Chain A
């Protein structure tokens, strides 16, 4: 795989240098790497990355946190599930970016509207996976808990949380990936800072080497967040083994 990737990059480099492809739109990978280095040292990449991470972290914390809580609630209570499931099902497929102008009007043009959209994106995969996680807990566990008189907090701690955790973590992974995409998209739509804003500016100025450099950073960001979640899964679910 690594050999294939390196070969592909070498071919790209050769094609760009030889003029077989447009260097304006497909600058050589070495140029992209040099640009990335320059942006890291002298440019505004670090503050942009920090701001994007802040929006992502805050949005995921709010969205995934509330999604998990609602998922557990819906999983534990049939009446809550019956009441809210149609609403969740109806709202989940709505294109989040299409709602952004409404958020702007409701929450203003500052950070709140951007973070709210990221949170909304993180919310749905979390609530659906958490609910599924509770629903797939084996009935014998419920029966055992009932026989031992487990209720409320004990039921949550002993049965619901550990039983649903594998799917909760899958939901968190989906939530982070979706939230990252929406964070970048929102920044492209309305922000003057952040990685998405850098992508927008790079395209506006047709400095495509900067565009690819930022895309590379986003790719690494996605890889890092997924690796972190994988590591968390291994720590919290040692019995599941490596997924």
Chain B
């Protein structure tokens, strides 16, 4: 009897506590502020990479609870190994055979976002240049006349995307890489090489195009967007750390796309200032050069990558062809159908 009384008394106390809790007015659910997550991003001194500077300077990363460290590099050659080793969380490596082979051999890196794309626009970002005198003399009146030409290209580019684009130019005229000579050139000397006739044609990108065209002895012969329209030409790649934490990956993507929206406002004083500061270029030059398109919707042109991958495979540079699922991470961006 005594025990029953004690249990009943205990139950009354519990009931009272529960009722009290139920009657307590409930405010906003307490959302604990997540601790800022550190994300290390490998960046290159290219204008396109200034999008990350915009995201950083405008506080888009902070808004997403991210502390982003932009780690500068001179070349993207080491990005994939550093991503795989966890030294970097995000980077924009050149899409070389190494990227695909790393995945084929078990490396956990994936394309998460587009960086630049060959979107047809008023001005070209990637072109083939020729001497004005040659063009005026009718030397390159048709693409077939490229046969036998020496084409200057960046060293990293011959077996990468620039080499692929040059191959597309050649295919238009029924030519192949065997019909021309590709010569590796440092960007700093490429203009001199063209002017001094060491090369006949030059594969060039901004801001070098604007610099070279300023001399008035060089002209644009062909534009990359004509042979590879809408090709996604560079990417943001996530390493294992961000692929394992999709929420952080989504927050990074949101901040990135906020920066892309600001970038799409064009050459506003603020954007010009940030791009110039980031790339170490004069403000006047940044205003003059053609800015790469960065897709607003965060969509990657998968078909263009598959075609490029097949080209690499045909060159014997790939261990095997990958399916899109293997190299593309989805779910970080809501891409409209």
Q: Chain A interface (Cβ within 8 Å of chain B)?
A: 22-25, 101, 104-105, 108-110, 189-192, 200-201, 203-207
Q: Can you give 13 A-B contacts (C-beta < 8 A)?
A: A104-B192, A109-B198, A109-B199, A110-B198, A190-B155, A190-B185, A192-B182, A203-B98, A204-B96, A204-B156, A205-B97, A205-B98, A205-B318
Query: What would 4 more interface pairs be, CB under 8 Å, given A109-B198, A204-B77?
Result: A24-B84, A101-B189, A108-B196, A206-B81
In this assembly, does B193 line the interface, its C-beta being within 8 Å of a C-beta of chain A?
yes
Chain B residue numbers with a CB within 8 Å of A22 are 84-85
Considering the complex, give the chain A residue whose CB is closest to the CB of B199: A109
Q: Smallest CB–CB gap between B202 and chain A, Å?
A: 12
What is the interface of chain B mostly: helix, strand, loop, or mixed? Answer: mixed
Do A204 and B97 have beta carbons less than 8 Å apart? yes
Closest to A192 in B: B184
B155 touches A105 (CB 8 A): no
**Within 8 Å CB of A109, what residues of B?**
152, 183-185, 189, 193, 198-199
Q: Closest Cβ of chain B: how far from A211's Cβ, in Å?
A: 11
Given contacts A23-B105, A24-B107, A205-B98, contact A200 B188 (CB under 8 A): no
Contact A101 B184 (CB under 8 A): no
Bits for B168-190, please: 1 = Cβ < 8 Å to A, else 0: 00000000000000111110110
Q: Which of B105, B152, B199, B318 has the most CB of A within 10 A?
A: B105
B317: CB under 8 A from chain A?
yes
The reply on B106 being an interface residue by CB < 8 A is: yes
Nearest 5 interchain pairs by C-beta = A206-B98, A205-B97, A104-B189, A206-B101, A204-B96
Which chain A residue has the least Cβ–Cβ distance from B81? A25
B203 to chain A, nearest CB (A): 14
Selected from A108, A192, A204, A205, the residue in CB contact (under 8 A) with B198 is A108
B80 interfacial contact with A, CB 8 Å:
yes
Nearest residue, chain A, Cβ from B315 = A205
Interface centre among B77, B102, B160, B186 (most CB of A within 10 A): B186
A190 contacts B186, CB within 8 Å?
yes
Which has the most chain B C-beta neighbours within 10 Å: A25, A110, A200, A205? Answer: A205
Residues on A with C-beta less than 8 A from B101 are 205-207
CA distance A101 to B158 in the complex (A): 19
Specify which of B152, B158, B189, B317 is in contact with A105 (CB 8 Å cutoff): B189
Distance to closest chain A CB from B109 (angstroms): 11
Cβ contact within 8 Å between B98 and A104: no
Residues A101 and B188 in contact in the complex (CB < 8 Å), given A204-B156, A204-B160, A205-B317: yes
Contacts of B198 in A (CB 8 A): 108-110
Question: In the complex, what residues of B have CB within 8 A of residue A204's CB?
Answer: 77, 96-98, 156, 159-160
Within the assembled complex, what's the spacing in Å between the Cα atoms of A189 and B318? 23
CB distance from A16 to the nearest CB of B (A): 13
